[in-house]
Structure 1
Amino acid sequence: MCGAPEQTAQLPPGTDLSKETVLIGRVVNGSEPVGGAFVRLLDGTGEFTAEVVSSATGDFRFFAGPGNWTVRALSRSGNGETSVTAEGPGLHRAEVAVG
Structure 2
Amino acid sequence: MCAAPKQGQKLPAGVDVEKETVLTGQVLDGDGQPVGGAFVRLLDGTGEFTAEVVASGTGDFRFFAAPGMWTLRALSPRGNGDVTVHPDGTGVYDQDVTVAKAS
Report the TM-score when normalising by structure 1: 0.90
Corresponding residue for 1:90? Answer: 91
Residue type at the aligned position of 1:41: L
Q: Which runs of 4+ in 1 moved over 4 A?
A: none
Q: Which string of whole-angstrom CA distances, capped at 9 and with x for unpartnered residues, describes residues 51-98 of structure 1?
A: 000001100000000000000000010000101001010000111000
Corresponding residue for 1:25? Answer: 25
The Cα RMSD (Å) is 1.0
Query: d(CA) in 2 for partners of 1:86 and 1:49?
Result: 16
Query: d(CA) in 2 for partners of 1:10 and 1:77?
Result: 26
Residue type at the aligned position of 1:16: D
Q: Which secondary structure state, in structure 2, belongs to the residue aligned with residue 44 of structure 1?
A: coil
State, as a whole percentage, how many aligned pairs show the same letter: 62
Q: Which secondary structure state, in structure 2, belongs to the residue aligned with residue 32 of structure 1?
A: coil
Report the TM-score when normalising by structure 2: 0.87
Residue type at the aligned position of 1:56: G
Whether 1:60 aligns to 2:61 is yes
What is the CA distance between 1:9 and its match in structure 2? 1.4
Counterparts of residues 35-46 of structure 1 (less than 5 Å): 35-46=36-47
Corresponding residue for 1:5? Answer: none
Query: d(CA) in 2 for partners of 1:9 and 1:52?
Result: 15
Structure number with higher strand proportion: 1
Larger radius of gyration: 2
Query: d(CA) in 2 for partners of 1:92 and 1:9?
Result: 11
Query: d(CA) in 2 for partners of 1:27 and 1:59?
Result: 6
Pairs aligned (count): 92
Structure 2: tracts of 5 or more residues without a match: 1-7
